[in-house]
A and B are shown apart, each in its own frame.
Chain A
Amino acid sequence: MVVEKHVMFRVRGGLDFTCQLDRTDESYVKQTLGKAFESVRSAVRSPSLVFGVQNSPVFLWPNRSLQATRQGVTENTTCRELQQHIQINEGDSGKRSSKKKDKKDGTTSIINVDLLTEVTEPVLCSAPMLFRQEGKHHFVKMKLPADCVVSAHMDETIGDVCTHLVEALCTQLTNMEEVVLRHRSGTSLPIPEPFHFLLPEPVGLITAVYPAGVPDTQLEPVRKELHRRLELPDDRSCMRRANAYHFPDEPYRDGYLRSPHLALNHPSLEGTKLYLVQGIYSYHHYMQDRMDDNGWGCAYRSLQTICSWFQQQGYVERVVPSHKEIQQALVDVGDKPASFVGSRQWIGSIEVQAVLSHLLGITSKILFVSQGSDLATKGRELANHFSTEGTPIMIGGGVLAHTILGVMWSETSGEIKFLVLDPHYTGGEDLQVITDKVWVTDLKPRLHFSVKCKLSCDIVVFVKTMSYPTLTCLSRAGVVGRGRTSGTNGPTTTSACPSDQGPYEVGCDIIVMSLTPEDQLHFTRIIMCLNKHTRHFKKKFYFLSVKNCIQHA
């Protein structure tokens, strides 16, 4: 068991800020705001400030010669000793109790601290008085969302830590003041919001304050400055809000699980190397967002997972699109009729590509594989993709879509395992359940196509190059795929190529396999012809019609 040497103290709370503005000229406002911020700072330094250590009975008065509520906790108590007072809030399920011991050190490596104010035992005593002040003015009021992190060695005393925390709070208030002054307009003051970023060593965790309501695009000069100061590369976004460090103990507000594969113990396979998705994504699957898409929404979910990756790495600000937004986008690009919106029809890799391009501005590449088992031959490409681009890959085959998060590949033997995220999951956001059986030797059992009928799948690799006005991001590639497969006897038809914007219906169970350009053209024609007649037919009819059509052709 590895014993952590450091512990992070994170103090959070909303500090009351009020000021009265009766003019708007620069120097006056600056002075008034300065005074108001100073009084917030003096509140932070006042003896009535209390740190409440979460999940523990310990309260600390950092400015009252570190008074503490718990007997035995003094100024000289070390962080390690303090940890003894913290109860770990492990979930209630009995299943996890076995894991409790192993996790103990991990979960307490962050000590969360609430910011409280004691209103009793006042510094001054005088009976209540009402003070009246007349005069027209603007009464400005906000809660400053203070959020400071201080890293401490386990042997450091909490007296020192508290001093650091108070200092950190004061520094943050000064930063907030700068941000408010810089971004205010008239009497409208933006709420300054701190964000933490985990940068590569030696910088580590740093905090930046951004004004709320001002989009990242407008904050570029600020970020440039930070990049320069911190000597960060200009071709990668590190300081956007979406890059903000997410503390492991904090649940995501949207309720989606993040990067569930990180909780896995990876199997060892001799001679193989692990290539994994880089960065954070959220896990989207069936039945989320009060949307009953069981049986038809897997590609939508896979697409959402990919979109979440782009958003959470800070490449796009757009929130993850809903089913309806995805459908609307496909209508907007002319890929689908208007009636498609609100329907329960499937989408495939082509649609996914179209949506990524339309909504996120991401261009992409499709890899074709004639058969599910052939995917194993793409080991080098996939490994290369994960190490250079690092986006999740969507893979489609048959009626199913999955997301590949990584491969375990041996360059010498070609042996390969896929790390698959399954959007067909319908349960709750329980990491325990989800992380079971994620690694598969090959895709067959997960995708079902090899058993039922001879189908194939194709993979679409999206390569995108996005440039921001100044901070150019690395080109990131995403792989997406949804094979249109058919259970016809032998290789017959073709795959639709990306340029094909044909009005074929979604989710049809036709397709695939031949990769010759002639066949592609041929097949496109068939589909186009089909669609004229069978647009409103259910997909099963399609299936038959296609056969007929092909035979006919």
Chain B
Amino acid sequence: MGRGYIVDDSVEKYLVSLQTASLSSLTGLLIGQSLPQRDFVVLAVQTPQKAKSESDPSERKPVHSLCDIDTEWVTQHAKQVSWTLPGGLSVLGVFLITPPDLEKEAQNTLRRLVFSVEKLISKGRLWSLNEDDVSERVGLHICSKTRRAVCRTFDVQDAKSSAKPADWKYQHGVSDSWLVLKCSVELHVRFPTPDITLENLEKSTKVSLQKWGNQIESSICLVNGVRVSSDSELISGQKKNTKAFPSNLRAQILIHNVRKEVRTCASVQVCGGVLALRGVVHCRAYIHSNKPKAKQAAEALKRDIMNTVSYRTEMFFEDLLMSEADGERGILGQKQPLPQRVFASVPGAGFCVCDYMFPDEGTAEVKERLKETLDCDIPEEEVDLTQEVIAGELLLDLTDSLGGGGNPIDPLFNLKYICLCWTVGGNPHKHGNHTHTPHKLSRGCTSTTSRNPAIHTVLQCHLHLCSFYSLCQII
């Protein structure tokens, strides 16, 4: 008996719809949560068509050989998909739908795809695998005629491993009732660099991010304000009453300030410039509610923190390189925002996916991109922009004056300030359904959320700062 895959029946529906839609071969990805005991599959996504065939879909010829499958295209897609996944969810493997005559070839193709997908996804990761991580990935073959599904797993750690049979079982409601751990992480990372050529910037960024990542990896995670021991269950004591399940858990990350005693003097690096990454990223991890272990939840959240930062810097440099290739000098400005993370809940599922929005983009682009990568329709207004706030100059200047030394911060000042930020950034109310939620502000005035929450939040922020400044003066 191999690994067991518990698959949401929505995945079955989706796969069936693909089988009926085309008679040719088709690839796609399987997404879900991998746990030591079993995997939960909650989403299947077909590989999008390449642009040229899209121009004339009717001309799509039946594929007679699986050699036509573009491995690079599939792996690139897998990478795009993994960028849209919050913590706890990952690409678990590949599916392949072929006509019966190609069945024999399918196993080899699946193997090739599974290995190369894994290779690309794990590249540039800031975290390392631990003993609980499962190195088996799934390869699902479906015959387009008989609809027979054959599920096998490949050990991606072992290049010579052979396929093992696995159990593929559909179940209702696998993608409901997920627990979510949320937190916003403040970044303050500096990347000293020998000079500010793009190449060196990228390199130095990677080096410093890795160090930062190690800190996050070894950090302490508190859930709902309590440190959870590694082997305990995520929610103890509340199991009996599953109805009152707290699906939303507040996570806190505490970083160890470790003493290093190897050196006798400070390290000195001759630099031509420094990049600093500052700001707050919103992170999430989804955990299946079937006896979740605290350790896995914390691990998933930490990985999300590391991933979201590394994805964004990667995107950012990719973007710079592209504009450099376009002839523009890919030099970055004094202050440059990284792409903003936005969330959207998957229709009919208990979890969200995310996307990264460049400053010049809007929700329409997000919708389009999610449609393309995840093959699911998410209404534009379902896109939640509020988890991360692009702040105006005022806020940044204040950040500078607070963070860069100067006067010790008055405790009262902080208290007010935390209140303020909490109301602005940390309050996860839904904007999708357009009810004008009354939004209580820290100084008693109320406001309603407008159609564009992002702008509104910034406005609130400014409003608050003003009131706050006057408050300071009063004090």
Write the residues of chain A forming the contact surface with B, with a CB cutoff of 8 angstroms.
12-18, 20, 35-36, 38-39, 41-42, 45-48, 50, 52, 57, 59, 63-65, 69-70, 114-143, 145-147, 187-191, 212-213
Contact = CB atoms under 8 A, between A and B. Distances in A.
Given A128-B309, A139-B192, 4 more contacts: A13-B256, A127-B341, A129-B337, A132-B196
B227 A57 contact: yes
Interface string B181-221: 00111110010100010000000000000000000100110
Interface centre among B187, B226, B251, B255 (most CB of A within 10 A): B255
B474 interface: no
B257 A14 contact: yes
B406 interface: yes
A123 B269 contact: no
Interface in B386-429: 388-391, 395-396, 398-399, 402-409, 411, 414-415, 417-418, 421, 424-426
Interface stretch (B55-63, B142-150, B272-280): B272-280
B172 interface: no
Given A41-B408, A141-B266, A120 B337 contact: no
A119 B216 CA distance: 9
B50 interface: no
B312 interface: yes
A212 to B, nearest CB: 4
Contacts of A145: 259-261
B336 interface: yes
A121 B426 contact: yes
Nearest to A188: B265
Nearest to B305: A119
- 7 tightest Cβ-Cβ pairs between the two chains A and B: A213-B264, A128-B279, A126-B391, A142-B266, A13-B257, A125-B425, A39-B405
A123 B417 contact: yes
A197 B389 CA distance: 50
A172 to B, nearest CB: 13
B255 A117 contact: yes
B270 A118 contact: no
A47 B414 contact: yes
A247 B398 CA distance: 43
A127 B358 CA distance: 11
B424 A190 contact: no
6 contacts: A13-B257, A59-B227, A115-B257, A118-B253, A129-B396, A130-B337
Given A129-B336, A130-B276, A121 B184 contact: yes
Contacts of B265: 142, 188-191, 212-213
A59 B254 contact: yes
Interface residues of B, number: 83
Nearest to B272: A136
A7 B65 CA distance: 77
Interface string B268-295: 1111111111111100000000000000
Contact of A130 (B222, B316, B391): B316
Contacts of B444: none
B334 interface: yes
A373 B337 CA distance: 86
Nearest to B408: A45
A130 B421 contact: no
A12 B259 contact: yes
Contacts of A120: 183-186, 251-253
The B contact surface, by secondary structure, is mixed
Contacts of A140: 266-269
B332 A132 contact: yes
A549 to B, nearest CB: 56
Interface centre among A35, A65, A132 (most CB of B within 10 A): A132
B338 interface: yes
Given A119-B186, A124-B402, A134 B273 contact: yes
B240 interface: no
Interface string B329-348: 00011111110110000000
A211 to B, nearest CB: 8
Contacts of B402: 123-124
B391 A125 contact: yes
Contacts of B259: 12-14, 143, 145-147
A126 B411 contact: no
B258 interface: yes
B52 interface: no
A139 B405 contact: no
B263 interface: yes
B225 interface: yes
Contact of B280 (A38, A127, A135): A127
Nearest to A141: B267
Nearest to A253: B261
A136 B271 CA distance: 6
B338 A128 contact: yes
A114 B398 contact: no
B340 A127 contact: yes
A18 B251 CA distance: 29
A48 B266 CA distance: 25
A57 B229 CA distance: 9
A158 to B, nearest CB: 17
A227 B109 CA distance: 78
B332 A139 contact: no
Contacts of B261: 145
A500 B408 CA distance: 70
Contacts of B415: 65
B260 A143 contact: yes
Contacts of A52: 220, 254
B264 to A, nearest CB: 3
Contacts of A133: 273-276
Contact of B266 (A14, A38, A127, A188): A188
A153 B409 CA distance: 29
Contact of A139 (B271, B333, B411): B271
A437 B165 CA distance: 64
Given A132-B332, A140-B268, A39 B390 contact: no
Interface in B230-270: 251-261, 263-270
Contact of A69 (B227, B279, B405): B227
A145 B258 CA distance: 8
Contacts of B187: 119, 128
B252 to A, nearest CB: 5
B186 A127 contact: no
B278 A138 contact: no
Given A57-B226, A63-B411, A191-B266, A127 B257 contact: no
Nearest to A41: B408
Interface centre among A46, A133, A141 (most CB of B within 10 A): A133
Contacts of A141: 192, 266-267, 269
Contact of A129 (B192, B338, B418): B338
A124 B269 contact: no
A46 B403 CA distance: 10
Contact of A64 (B192, B270, B316, B414): B414
A208 B227 CA distance: 35
Contacts of A46: 409, 414
A134 B196 contact: yes
Contacts of B424: 125
Contacts of B278: 126, 128-129, 131
Contacts of B196: 132, 134
Nearest to A124: B399
B421 A50 contact: no
A146 B261 CA distance: 11
B269 to A, nearest CB: 4
